[in-house]
Structure formats: C-alpha cells, structure tokens
Structure 1
Amino acid sequence: MPSPLPDDSSITLTDASFAVAGRQILGGLTLHLTEQRIGIIGRNGSGKSTFLRLVAGLIAPTTGSVKVGGLAPASDRKAMLARIGILFQNPDHQIIFPTVGEELAFGLRQQGLDKAAATVQVQALLARHGRSHWVAQPVTALSQGQRHFLCLLAVLAMQPGTILLDEPFAGLDLPTQARLDRTLASLPQRLILITHDPKALAGYDRVIWLEDGRLRADGPVGPIVAQFTDEMTRLGDVDADTDLTL
C-alpha cells in the first residue's frame, strides 16, 4: 500500500448539506477523511456524485463546511489543483481540447507552468505510461477506454494528493477495467471511489454508505459491505421501485 499522505491532506466535512431549489440532496454530513482508500456506496440518487463534487469544490455546501487541508475547496480553486483531482464517469464530460497533448497540458498551465515546461512534462508523462505516440493524436481517434485513461493522465499530471473517482469502470470492457484497476492500485494518492460493485472495494480502508443524502453507515469495508449487500438484496426481493411516485 502507498505511504500515508501528509497530515494537511485531511478532508473534513462539518454538518455539510447541499440543496437545489429547496430540495435537499445531501444533509448533515460530518466526516473526517484521512485514510488512503475510501469507498462510497449507495443506491442511485443517494447523493454520491454530489458528495464528490462537494469535496472537489465544484459546488459549495448550502450549509456547514467542507475543508481540504484546512482550505475551503469551493472558494480556493487554485490551491485545490494540487490537492484534489476528479475523474468523472463519462470522459466526454471532462475532455475540452482537440488533441491529447493540449488536454494534458491544460492543467499544468493552470498551475503556472509555461508552454515549454508543460510540453516537457506531458511528453514525460506519456512516456512513463508507454503512450508517447499519443501526444499529437486527436482525442476523437481514441476509444472510450483510451479517453477515460487520458482523463486519468490529465489528473495525474497535476499530482494531486487525492483523486476522486466516480464509477471509473462503468462502460469499460473487462481488459480495460483490469488495466485501469492495476494503475489505480499502484498510485500513491488517496483514492475516494464511488462504486456499485462491492468487490471493487477489496483492500480498501473505509467505506461510507449514503442513503437519501445522509450517512447510513461508515467504517470498515467488510461489515458495511455485507450490510449493504443484504439491504440491496432485500430491496430487490420486494421490488425496489414500488416506493417511487409518478
């Protein structure tokens, strides 16, 4: 397992809530996150992706506070570039430049590197991952799995202390999933992973179960995943959608 992160990398939510147009999506979350590998589980609509966006600073809490290394991510976005990276489920929601090299250089330029220095770092990053030939390729020439890996490389280029992962294996074939899994397992960064697959949390230190935007359970992976699996099985047996209204 990678070495522990510095003490100033902790993530703290204090009675944090988030609402849109009067509808509460997350409510009253108080958490102190220091572990290297943290899983987030819950049904669709439970607030998992909103939780990641809150930690990343893409949205600000409606009430309460979120701090990353003592800083508020939503109000100190520049400082977050070296602290928090996020990998979305759909790479096409993340990629904004036409070529691989431009996409990878963008974050580095945001961190203050000039064009020449960013280019050198991009070339070195691609070489480390055996993809030097990608640098001038149009993003549209990449497969879905390759675009997903490009987004991960763009995050890694900025060397954040924590990487937030929103269902990173969704839509990938099995060989691509295996390659991505090996890459993620080798990273020294803290990983916070949203997943619907409890098996993806093997070896993780902690799991957080969200339900209706609130904390249902928090603790060691084994017992909480067992509880979650039992509950999902129970809901499936009684027809999980009968509680929805038109």
Structure 2
Amino acid sequence: MSETGDLTIRLDDLGYEAGGRAVLSGLTLQSSARRIGVVGRNGSGKSTLARLLAGLIAPSSGHISVAGHDPYRDRRAALKTIGILFQNPDHQIIFPRVAEEISFGLRQQGLDKAQASQRTEAILTSFDKLHWKDAPVTALSQGQKHLVCMMSVLAMGPRLLILDEPYAGLDIPTRRQLSRHLHRADTRLLHISHDPADLADYDQLFWLDRGTIVQQGTAAEVLRDFTAEMDRLGELDDIADLAR
C-alpha cells in the first residue's frame, strides 16, 4: 500500500472555544479522499480547523484522528504525517536563510546535520532552486516565500498536507505555479479556501459556515450551492447581520 493510500481523517463531534465563544461546534466527518476541500466565508472557522488538524492546538471537545493518531497528543506521529502551509509565509518562516529554514523541520524529525543538509539540497534541486540555498529570505518576494514554505514542508515527506488559504494575495501566475507544484507532490491535500476556483477539481468538499458543516459532497454539488448562497448574500443591502 502506498504512503497515501491508508490515511483517514476523522472528526467526532469536534468543538473549539476561544474567549468563551464557540468557534467550531459539532464537527463530525470521515474522509479518505486524496484531495479534500473545505470552503467557507471568512470567519467561518476554517483556519481554526486547519490548526486543529495539524495538532497545533487542542480541541475543546470531541476527538480528531489522522491516520489513527491524535495529532495534538501524539506530536511525533504528527510530525511524520502532517504538514501545513499557512496563508502568510511570514508567520511560518523563522530562519534568515533558505537552507536553514528547510533544514529546521528535518532536524525536528531526527535527522542529523549532514542528513538534513543533503535532504535540503535534494528538495531545492527538485524545484530547480539550488541557487536559493544561501539566499536571505528577506530578499524573496511573497510568492517566493510561499515556495520556500512549500519546499520546507514537502522535504519532511508529509502524508497529508494542509493548505490554509495558500494563494491569498498572490497574483495569477504565482498562484498557478504554486498550484502546479502542489498537485505534483506525492501527498494528500486538504485545502481550505473561500474561493471556489481553488477547489473545483477536488474529490470531496465540505462547506463550513459559522463553525459547523452545512454540506458535504462532490465539488460540483457543494460549490454550486455555496456560490448561489454567496451570490444571495452579496445582494443584501445590509451585511452587518452577517458578522459573527
């Protein structure tokens, strides 16, 4: 069986609260699809769900399982199984030079310095970016920083890659280039977005609204209904009542 063939994501009555407010509530789903999309308006709880699935925060209630492991309680398994790309690469990058950034996650996985350096050069070469090895991160454009984050995560060999609005603020050519790299990667994708165009070719979609799943199904079905509802909301004279 392939590394991506036996991975199941399961949420059982998942809830998360912040400041006494329910951000997510009653989320229950199970999926083994290779490419999963989560669509929803800004403020619907999508980014919180991404952080929960990556094991970066603990749920307030319910349970999460990714490939049979709780990603928050079993950090060793999470590091081997799950990668995440955030919307803003400046929230993810912590080292001043490209090679240092890519090597960091590999060292966290237990590779020694020489092994991490070798893996770093290999991933840079596979992206035709070996000349970036000693480049300062501050010299890179926003799209190039996104690519560094992508290479850093993919170098760790995740079986599941969580994408939290990875194309936000990027121009069309950069979006297409990053999308091409992502879809070439031998990993499952869970892509979170407010833009239906990002998810049109995904295998299974979940529509998240105000912290709950309101619909799941094929991309064609869910995006049709989501787009119709967004169009309806856009026709309202006053959107103040839409704020959570």
Give TM-score scaled by structure 1 length.
Answer: 0.95
Amino acid at match of 2:129: R
Amino acid at match of 2:235: D
Amino acid at match of 2:91: H
Matches within 5 A, 1:1-246: 5-7=4-6, 9-239=7-237, 241-243=239-241
Amino acid at match of 2:59: P
Counterpart CA distance in 2 for 1:104 and 1:187 is: 16
3-state secondary structure, aligned to 1:16 = strand
Could you tell me whether the CA contact under 8 Å between 1:4 and 1:36 is conserved in 2?
no
Amino acid at match of 1:84: I
| Stretch deviating more after TM superposition (184-193 or 48-57) | 184-193
Q: Is there any run of 5+ residues in structure 1 with no aligned partner, and where?
A: none
Q: How many residues align?
A: 243
Could you tell me whether the CA contact under 8 Å between 2:42 and 2:194 is conserved in 1?
no
Q: Is there any run of 5+ residues in structure 2 with no aligned partner, and where?
A: none
1:244 Cα deviation after fit = 5.0
Counterpart CA distance in 2 for 1:244 and 1:125 is: 44
3-state secondary structure, aligned to 1:60 = coil
1:240 Cα deviation after fit = 5.8
Describe the superposition over 1:95-152 as per-residue Cα deviations: whole angstroms up to 9, x where unpaired: 0011101000001001111001110110111011111111111111111110010000
TM-aligned CA distance change 1:243 to 1:233, over 3 Å: same
3-state secondary structure, aligned to 1:229 = helix
Percent sequence identity is 52
1:231 Cα deviation after fit = 0.4
1:175 Cα deviation after fit = 1.3
1:245 Cα deviation after fit = 7.0
Moved over 3 A (4+): none
TM-aligned CA distance change 1:245 to 1:38, over 3 Å: closer
Could you tell me whether the CA contact under 8 Å between 2:158 and 2:187 is conserved in 1?
yes
Amino acid at match of 2:183: A
